[in-house]
Structure formats: structure tokens, C-alpha cells
Amino acid sequence: GAVVSQHPSRVICKSGTSVKIECRSLDFQATTMFWYRQFPKQSLMLMATSNEGSKATYEQGVEKDKFLINHASLTLSTLTVTSAHPEDSSFYICSAKTSGGAETQYFGPGTRLLVL
């Protein structure tokens, strides 16, 4: 159990276009989902936390108008990178957990974004 999927696994796009990444909890309801970014040979950095039905909370330095997060249901959160630029190229990983408190986060397999 506790499987999280991401789609697509890999995407290449032109500079200036928008890209949507989906994160789904397949066998549980995720009240909270997290989005992380990982640059090459670096660790994961939390971008934002989203709770179902409410606005996402962004970490300092993350532009909320550039990285749009929607958590419309208990099994789906989406991250849209708007007007992507080459510096947005990165590995994006989501995680999900079931309820409040110190519950385990379950991680998706990640999405590799390359902006040309």
C-alpha cells in the first residue's frame, strides 16, 4: 500500500511554455501533499505544502505565481511550472501523507523536467 505516482516521468519543453506535473496517491487519501525540487547532485528542497481544498503554503524564495499548485481532491495534486525557463530544469518529487501529525510521507518517483 501507500503508493504515490507522478506523471509524466520525464518532460522536455521549450522555454516560455507551461508544464503540468501530476501527483496521485493511488491507494490512500492524502490530506497533505508536498512538492520538492532537486538540482543535480544536490539534496531535495521543499517548495510548497498543499492541503486538500486550500491554498498551498510556499517556502521562502519559491515564486507562487510561477509554481502553481492545485490540490483539488484527496488523491491528486498538480504542480504547474508557468513560463518555464532553462533554470527551472530540475527533478521534481512529490510526497503525500494521510493526516495531520507526524505521519510518514510517501514519495513519488519524480519527474525530470528539461527546459530548452
Partner 1 sequence: KQEVTQIPAALSVPEGENLVLNCSFTDSAIYNLQWFRQDPGKGLTSLLLIQSSQREQTSGRLNASLDKSSGRSTLYIAASQPGDSATYLCAVLGSGDKLTFGTGTRLAVRP
Residues at the interface with partner 1 (CB under 8 A): 6, 32, 34, 36, 42-46, 49, 91, 93, 95, 97, 100, 102, 104-105, 107-110, 112
Return the number of the residue (36 or 67) whose C-beta is nearest partner 1.
36
Q: What is the DSSP letter of 105?
A: P
Tell me: cis bond preceding 8? Omega within 30 of 0 counts: yes
**Amino acid identity, position 93:** I
Other beta carbons within 10 angstroms of residue 80's beta carbon come to: 14
